[in-house]
Structure 1
Amino acid sequence: MSLRRAVLALAILASLAACDRGTTSTQPTPAATAAAVAATSGIDLAGIDKAVQPGDDFDAYANGAWKQATEIPEDRANVSTFFYIAERGEKRLADLIQGLDKSEAAAGSNERKIADYYAAFMDEAGIESRGLAPLQPTLDKVSAISDRTSLSRYLGGQVRADTDPLNDTNFHTDNLFGLFVAQGLEDPSKNVGYLMQGGLGMPDREYYLASGPGMDANRAAYQAYIASLLTLAGDADADRKAKTIFDLEMKIAKAHANVIDSQDVHKANNPWPTADLAKQAPGIDWSAFLDGAGLASQQTIFAWQPQAISKLSALVASEPLQTWKDYLQFRAIDHSASLLPKAYADLKFAFYNTQLQGTVQQRDRWKRAIADTNGALGDAIGQLYVKQYFPASSKARVEAMVSNILAAFRDGVDQLAWMSPETRQIAKTKAETMLVGVGYPDSWRDYSAYEVKRDDPLGNALRAEQAEYRHQTAKLGKAPDRKEWWMTPQRVNAVQLPLQNAMNFPAAILEAPFFDPKADDAANYGAIGAVIGHEVSHGFDNLGSAFDAEGRLRNWWTKDDAAHFKAATDKLVAQYNSYEALPGLTLNGEQTLGENIADVAGLQAAYTAYRASLGGKPAPVIDGLTGDERFFLAFGQAWRAKFRDESLRAQVIGGGHSPARWRALTVRNIDAWYETFKVKDGQKLYLKPEDRVKIW
């Protein structure tokens, strides 16, 4: 047994013992009094707006004063708790990366590659002097396309592993198709490739198809952006081409499946023998496409959005070859614009950031360089990050919290009167066998084959995409690694991996205010504990509940259990459908259902685990707040955020998560919140007990 597993096992035993002890004592103990002196509340007291009643608007109560005092930085579309933690991490990464350039690291080492990638990105004079030359080989390949076969081979050659529908809810690729590599949905013994729809320049099909003045303006601005970018590249026929390119993308958008259908994993389980691709999706020369994509040896490809893939393939045959060449010329320039001369980067920023997100000012170049370097060499940087910024004490404490919350979840399953014994046992087994990764992975990515040149920033970025693609396609046909991480340690996020029945909690999110070693347990359980509970619950949401403990897609629910689950989730859909984000724009409760389920169930599990952690002793009062007040306030403040209208619109239209404000309102489904803040009937957030959604 490894040290990590030994610590985890001991923590599970301790948490079960704590649950058994119950909550019987009513007087503060010396230990509790000492804890009150030693620990901080973990709550931003100045951010609370006490003029607001918690039962009328809990987000405004927890965060109203903060919102009034906070301005969104001009180089940001929104600002949130995640932003502040990411900003802290960005400064740390800057210290690490900028320091490497002075270390004279050995040629070929990860440290040298990090330093050279960053230096190349920062060489603005070099980028200006080279102009479009670094992109010319790609543009020449587009010019050389002469027939449907060569077009198909080029399209295959552009496929990248840049989509992730299960772990990162990322359905977007600007190439015509994307590839996701993971174990088979019904056969967990080997990895397979999932082909996914793509090809749009704007974020989602709704940007092309939805009505309204905001979307009309976006479409007009996009066509103008296409023309401006082509004009800058020296194309004398830019206006005409912009219209034909936009018209082609409109047809691509009409071919696309929507977000809700793309989220439905049952619609994604479509194994297509590669020998039958011409029948399943006529139009593309699939032999040439697979050869270009390096997938010629694959016997089967899974079509994630089968109807869309068939329609996109048909467009390859039906649209004029020159239209495709114009489109691919633009796609190549647009994709690389951030690493071309400033005029290109500014045009791209003006459309994608100002027009679509409302961001006023471009971020400092060093910040963009840090982000790009981090994207290309994430694991190499991650090793340095955790050595310097993630203590073993934090890892052990968070692992113990995870164990407590898993125990609370299992206990909660036992108390579900509506669930049959058969379904209950499988749910408990799944929770008991869920793998937990805290801080960083057990093994790291090998970058030895990835070439970084100090004078080739665009080449470095394109080679990084190719290196990631080779890394992913090398897994095809092999047994999956259940301990594989899908996020770097320095990413401020957390993830549930349904195919691996595992969770990852990167080191970067284990920072205040999500996790504060100096704060008492109430705040930590309300913030990072709710995040942990959220990820645990993802294993049992509308998506996760379709997978068993081995990550196999199968129905393990009885008919009655499934009906009860559906009725509860329908109530949650209706609850979120009632929230209006902007005039005339309401949330889509079905589109965000999985995340909303995880918020509700995760918060309840975190609260139960927090109460159990007290071991029957009352929580101390700190800063005038009870333990339960600190728990719920920490949750509400973890989801504090301000959005520009454009950014909020983008989140509602294409996002799988509800915007932060409405995530904070999850509390209205938790009975203990009503008792803690004396919420009464007649207040705006009040729900009758029978209307509060309880799923797990």
Structure 2
Amino acid sequence: MKLTSHSLRLCALALGIAAAWLPTAQAADSTTKAAAAAAPAALKGDVVAANIDASVKPGDDFFEFANGTWLKNNPIPAQESMWGIGQVVQDDLYLKLRKISEAAAAQKNAAIGSDEQKVGDFWTTAMDQALADKLGLTPLKSDLARIDAVHDLQSALDEAFALQPLGVDAFFDFGVSQDEKHSDVMAVHLEQGGLGLPERDYYFNQEPGVAKARAAYVEHLQRMFRLLGADDAAARNSATQVMAFETALAKVSRPLADLRDPEKNYNKLAPADFTGKFTPAIAWGARLKAWKLSPETVIVGQPEFFGGLQALLARTPAPVLRDYLRVHLADTYAAYLSQDFDNEHFDFYNRVLSGQKEQKPRWKRTLRAENTAMGMILGRIYVKDYFSESSKQRYNAMVESIRTAYGERIDRLDWMSPATKAKAHEKLAAVTRKVGYPDKWKDYSALSIGRESFAQNMMNASHWAFNDMVSKFGKPVDRNEWEMYPQTYNAYYNPSNNEIVLPAAQFIIPGYADNEIDDAVVYGYVAASTIGHEITHGFDDQGRQFDAAGNLKDWWTKQDATRFNQRAAVMVKQFNAFEPLPGLHINGEASLGENIADFGGLMIGIDAFKKTEQFKKGEKIAGYTPMQRFFLGYALSWLSQEREDLLRQALLSDVHAPAKWRVNGPLSNIPEFYEAFDVKQGQPMWRPEAQRVRIW
């Protein structure tokens, strides 16, 4: 809820960087193939030119033109559900993190509680498949025993609340984070949740692929119950009833697009009033007090969901609630248990939902879990070894060039009044930049890691994270804290802090040192795709509702807000028309914020790039002008292909459009793109001027 992430670039990967990112083809100039024929050697190793598919015209499909050769020559590996630049970067990161982990594990006398001891013991235990197989369900034994004792609604609620600190969002979702209307205060948030499928529409959409996944989910539940000890008939009955329970829960959940309205999803209530009006069975005051929380108010995202949950719980028999809790606990920790649980979890959540054909090697799955459990410990070591001070300075300076360009663009807007412009400038000036890594590292001293079991270490980490979150209530907001690790290929904007956070790994282009890449490519790849994108999130359909201090507060004139919404509606219509799979369109309403951020990032990235020496000189590199290389750099940032199952999942549950449309969608509205690649009327990417988006 609090983060607006840059992309779905966080994926575990398979092949090593040397094999995966070598340039594989020569390129052609956008206007003639003769340039490629004249100097093939010069183009072979260029960071963007080598990826180009000259058989595709830029105005027909720029994504395929810019990335097509690389995508053709690098099919999705069996161990992946998508493959592209993000996954190759992640592979490189995995190699570095493995080196760090193995070095820690090799230390024989690491002090108890030290970073080396925690990393080393985590790695050693998680890599021990034989130990996991020997233990089977033992790590969950005590929690499963308590669930087995559930006999009525209140005992079911006891266990649901006991599972929340383990990362199991049974029935609902809970968190402590900044109050959207009082950003200096940490507040208790209660949200809809509790589903086993990725999003509520998976329970209702009749598209054949979704219906197939829905049926496969019931089969998955049945197999999980068998693994938990039930016979075939009992497992079948339990699976059917849990699916019926979750379907009813999905029915009272808000659709994805409706979750993007911060005002409608902000409902402040006293715990006693919340109990009395919506959930008589849940004494919120007492329940929260058990977590050492005594809030005067709670922020409820979707009150009607909790009313529906109350009715559903009241009519559901205790055995069904037991089964629901049991299977959600088991699925949460299946990847850290014995091979049979791990394989079953993979078979549904990766093979069926994402199309991944094979498990990744255990060492990569271990690193993914290690990042989840103690990412900042790894990050502290990673940046010391792999992120230079010169890189940090380059991107700090780039943030400021983007900020300046955005301010100038605000001044030029013909649809925004002077009063709103003044407030926009105030907010822009107040945006905090966080580049590379935190100035102050998180304290993990209370986290206990040992060699008992992989699952136990993950449970310890979940308890630690929960306690760390809860401990923030009643304390001043720590605006220096990061919610991503430095070794993350991603970025985010946090509206409550009015900040952009740019981890060190986000700047990587595989196979190239930072100083080997020209500004044109970097301004497209980083300044537009990441920095400009994240700053624009402060002014998208959600972010624009937060003021300079990070409070949900209307600072727009009524007329300006109307004009903004009219312009945003053009983008909604454009993306609603895209149909990546037959019968499944992009959700223009749900993806609006990301699409505005992509478009805004490009516009201000262009403005900032025009001030560079490379643009002013106008010299070609590998046959491409500076502005052409800027757009090729932007397309490089979204170089990716995914399996159909993952694409289907994203269209139903993700607020980001698929990669191809994050390139072609915004570019079809940008005059500089038309000029750079001579896009003509009649080509698929050409739009009449009156139908183009004009926001930032």
TM over 0.5: yes
- The question of whether the paired residues in 2 share the 8 Å contact of 1:156 and 1:293 is answered with no
Cα distance in 1, alignment partners of residues 669 and 269 from structure 2: 43
Shift of 1:295: 5.1
C-alpha distance in structure 2 between counterparts of 1:515 and 1:523, whole Å: 13
CA contact (8 A) 1:182 1:191 kept: yes
**2:66 equivalent to 1:71:** no
> Are positions 1:503 and 2:497 aligned together?
no
- Displacement, 1:298? 2.1
Bigger mean CA offset, 306-315 vs 457-466: 306-315
Evaluate the alpha carbon distance shift between residue 408 and residue 332 of structure 1 in structure 2; reply closer, same or farther with a 3 A threshold.
same
2:661 match: secondary structure = helix
Per the TM alignment, residue 589 of structure 1 is displaced from its structure 2 partner at its CA by 0.7
* Residue in structure 1 matched with residue 444 of structure 2 by the alignment: 447
CA distance in 2, matches of 1:493, 1:160: 26
* 8 A Cα contact 1:153 1:289, kept in partner: no
How many angstroms apart in 2 are the aligned matches of 1:435 and 1:216? 45
Counterpart Cα distance in 2 of 1:129 and 1:483: 43
8 Å CA contact 1:193, 1:302 repeated in 2: yes
Tell which deviates more after alignment, 144-153 or 209-218: 144-153
The offset of 1:392, in angstroms, is: 0.2
Tell whether the 8 Å contact from 1:154 to 1:289 is kept in structure 2 after alignment.
no
One of 290, 296, 313 as aligned partner of 2:310: 313
Pair 1:97-2:101 in alignment: yes
Q: 2:272 pairs with 266, 270, 275, which one?
A: 275
Tell me whether 1:520 sits opposite 2:518 in the alignment: yes
CA contact (8 A) 2:163 2:329 kept: no
RMSD: 1.9
Residue 413 of structure 1 is aligned with which of 397, 410, 413? 410
Residue 633 of structure 2 corresponds to: 634
Q: Which residue number in structure 1 is paired with residue 350 of structure 2?
A: 353
Structure 1 residues 386 and 477: CA distance shift in structure 2, 3 A: same
Alignment partner, residue 118 of structure 1: 123
Q: Structure 1 residues 627, 161: CA separation in 2 closer, same or farther (over 3 Å shift)?
A: farther
Taking the aligned partners of 1:293 and 1:318, their CA distance within structure 2 comes to: 26
Aligned to 1:55: 59
2:649 is equivalent to residue 650 of structure 1: yes
Deviation string for 1:196-217 (max 9, x for gaps)? Answer: 1111111111111111221221
The SS at the match of 1:669 is coil
- Superimposed CA distance per residue, residues 177-197 of structure 1 (whole angstroms, 9 cap, x where no aligned partner): 222322212122311011111
Q: Would you say the 8 A contact 2:609–2:615 is kept in 1?
A: no
CA contact (8 A) 1:501 1:550 kept: yes
Please tell me whether the aligned partners of residues 49 and 62 of structure 1 are also in contact (alpha carbons under 8 angstroms): yes
Distance 1:211 1:45 in 2: 42
Query: 3-state SS of the aligned residue for 1:504?
Result: strand
2:603 is matched with which residue?
Answer: 604
Match for 2:677: what amino acid?
F
CA distance in structure 1 between the partners assigned to 2:215 and 2:289 by the alignment? 34
In the alignment, the residues of structure 1 paired with residue 471 and residue 579 of structure 2 have an alpha-carbon distance, to the nearest angstrom, of 45
Q: Distance in 2 between matches of 1:322 and 1:508?
A: 47
Contact 1:405–1:529 under 8 Å retained in 2:
yes
1:327 aligns with 2:327: no
* Distance in structure 1 (CA, Å) of the matches to 2:423 and 2:284: 43
| 1:319-338 alpha-carbon deviations (Å, 9 max, x no partner) | 11121011111112121111
Question: What is the 5 A alignment of 1:169-184?
Answer: 174-184=169-179
Cα–Cα, structure 1 residues 658 and 515, in superposed 2: closer, same or farther, change >3 Å?
farther
Q: Given the alignment of the two structures, is residue 140 of structure 1 paired with residue 145 of structure 2, yes or no?
A: yes
Following superposition of structure 1 onto structure 2, how do residues 369-384 of structure 1 map, counting pairs within 5 Å?
369-384=366-381
2:469 equivalent to 1:472: yes
CA offsets 1:4-58 (integer angstroms, 9 cap, x no match): xxxxxxxxxxxxxxxxxxxxxxxxxxxxxxxxxx999963322111111111111
CA distance in 2, matches of 1:511, 1:161: 34
Task: Provide the C-alpha distance between the structure 2 equivalents of 1:156 and 1:592, rounded to a whole number of angstroms.
Answer: 32
Q: Is the 8 A contact 1:39 1:520 kept in 2?
A: no
Counterpart of 1:426 in structure 2: which amino acid? Answer: K
- 1: CA distance, partners of 2:514 / 2:582: 38
User: In the alignment, does 2:440 pair up with 1:436?
Assistant: no
User: Given the superposition, is the C-alpha separation of residues 219 and 449 from structure 1 closer, same or farther in structure 2, using an over 3 Å criterion?
Assistant: same
Alignment of 1:23-422 (within 5 A): 43-104=47-108, 105-160=110-165, 174-236=169-231, 237-287=234-284, 290-291=287-288, 294=291, 296-422=293-419
**CA distance in structure 2 between the aligned counterparts of 1:149 and 1:289, rounded to whole angstroms:** 13
SS of alignment partner, residue 193 of structure 1: strand
In the alignment, the residues of structure 2 paired with residue 479 and residue 349 of structure 1 have an alpha-carbon distance, to the nearest angstrom, of 41
The farther-off stretch of 293-302 and 670-679 is 293-302
2:437–2:486 contact (8 Å) kept in structure 1: yes
Deviations 1:204-259 (A, max 9, x none): 11111111221221121111111111112221221111111111111111121111
The CA distance in 2 between the partners of 1:523 and 1:160, in whole Å, is 44
Q: How many residues align?
A: 649
> C-alpha displacement at 1:682, in angstroms?
1.2
Partner amino acid, structure 2, of 1:77: S
Residue 38 of structure 2 corresponds to none
- 2:670 match: 670
SS of structure 1 residue aligned to 2:532: helix
Superposed displacement of residue 586, structure 1 = 1.0
Q: Deviations over 1:396-440 (max 9, x none)?
A: 000001100010000000001211111001101111111000000
Report SS of the residue matched to 1:450.
Answer: coil
Please report how far the alpha carbon of residue 61 of structure 1 lies from its aligned counterpart in structure 2 after TM superposition: 0.7
Q: 2:527 aligns with which of 517, 526, 529?
A: 529
Amino acid at match of 1:158: L
Q: TM-score, normalised by structure 1?
A: 0.90
Counterparts in 2 of 1:645 and 1:265: CA distance versus 1, 3 Å? same
CA contact (8 A) 2:249 2:309 kept: yes
